[in-house]
Structure 1
Amino acid sequence: ELSIGQQQRVAAARALIGQPELVIADEPTSALDFDAREAFLQLLFAECRAAGASLLFVSHDQSLAPLFDRSLSLAELNRATRPQEA
């Protein structure tokens, strides 16, 4: 049996095995406490860097936004896909 944090790390490792160019992580830290979240994020960032992979990280936790080069809210994304009104 694995803890939630261990399961998250296994999922990250599995995602990186094939050296993908893009890793999509959908709410990977939602069930983690602060310490486990920090450890997981450090590991995820390091492994993506080592693999040369881009990371698309989806989260409701706005406090994580400063950790990334770029962030978009769902509202911004929705505006980007709507046709412009005349």
Structure 2
Amino acid sequence: MPKEIWSFDKIEELANAVKIYQTNFKDIKINVFKNLSETQIRNAYYKLKREDPGLFDFQPFKKVHRLQFNYSEADVSFDIDFMTNIQI
């Protein structure tokens, strides 16, 4: 089976897909590269990453720390009453 040559556009598409789906190659296959197998996508990813390590470097979404407030029973009952009386 001849090797497939990846164009710059296809490499960029893979890089964008990795930003969205990380290394979930099954989702990348389903949503982006429908005509390629997961193995082909995985092999291309690791080959391109080895050739250009910076290609897939991106900052994943940072986890946001939630502020925690101490609620009194009155606050909780107000929240429940408020949320149940909202009409949309």
TM-score by length of 2: 0.35
**Which structure has the higher relative contact order (CA within 8 Å, separation 6+)?**
1
**Greater share of helix:** 2
TM-score by length of 1: 0.36
